[in-house]
Amino acid sequence: MLPGWDRLVVIFLLVAALLLWALQQRFVIRLLAKAQVQIPVDSPLGIALETVCGEFGIKPKRILLIPSTIANAGVLDDGSILLTTGLKELLTERQLTAIMAHELSHAKDGDAKRLSRRMDTLTGIVASIIGFLIPAFVVGLIDPLPSDLIWLVLAFVAFTPPFALGLYTAFSRRLEFKCDRVAAEHGYGPALAEALDILHRYQMMPSVWSKALGWRLTHPSLRDRLAAIAQHELKR
């Protein structure tokens, strides 16, 4: 049986790792947002983005261009849409508007808030379970039980965060498929497929993720996304 303080340190490190994982999801995007630049409405890019916004019947709070060599786009909790300069330089106007169509689907359905709530809920559940176990370790409530139980509890504490992560990423991948479908329904399927292929090649991402790694990813594999887009195109 581990001494009381040693057990507390182990639990504390596990809880800290879980909380850091949750916080970093928001910290990175908000750090990038500090370098944001409003895209001029009367610029060629601004006009193109206004057009696709009109097609979706939504006016984002802001459309922001962030200086970054990483080609990416995203949506904040308040519905603002972020595009990086790397994405703007890499894609054609049509491909960029296809990515915008995908992000507008996120914004229109409030996907960022839904993901945030899902993360908060899962983090809260895991933290509550772990937090309940801490006093038991500290005051020795489980000491009268078989000594092997402590390792069973530690194993549970260690594997619960990855399980929560798996639930979160599965929900996120489902939303990505949904947004690809909506973009395809608005006629952006071919351009979106081109953009995704370019992004994967440019950023040297494998087109097919292994099953061992895929459960940790917030986005489906390129192969699965292209196959789904092709199916949507056949139905149009």
* Tens-place pLDDT, residues 168-186: 888 899 999 999 999 999 9
* Region label for 119, one of left (φ > 0), alpha (ψ between -120 and 50) or beta (otherwise): alpha
Instruction: Taking the CA atoms of 100, 195, 24 and 9 in sequence, report the sign of the dihedral they define.
Output: positive
Question: Which residue is listed with tokens 């947004």?
Answer: 179
At residue 197, the pLDDT reads 94
Read off the DSSP letter of residue 188: -
Find tokens 């916004």 and name the residue: 53
Q: Rounded to the nearest 5 degrees, what angle is found at the Cα of 88, between the Cα atoms of 82 and 93?
A: 110
Residue 104: CA count within 13 A, CB half-sphere: 25
Residue appearing with tokens 């960029």: 96
Helices (H), 79-216: 85-90, 93-109, 111-139, 148-185, 189-202, 211-214
> Crossing angle of helices 189-202/222-235, nearest 10°?
170
Would residue 31 be called left, alpha or beta, if left means φ above 0 and alpha means ψ between -120 and 50 degrees?
Answer: alpha
Cα distance between residue 101 and residue 157, in whole Å: 40
Backbone angles phi, psi at 65, to 5 degrees: -105, 120
- Beta-carbon contacts of 130 under 8 Å, excluding residues fewer than 6 positions away, are 11, 14, 15, 18, 157, 160
Q: What is the pLDDT of residue 57?
A: 87
Distance separating alpha carbons of residues 167 and 217, to the nearest angstrom: 11
Residue 152: per-residue pLDDT: 54
pLDDT at position 76 is 80
* pLDDT attached to residue 144: 46
In the predicted model, residues of the chain with pLDDT beneath 70 are 1-38, 40-41, 126-127, 129-163, 204, 206, 208-215
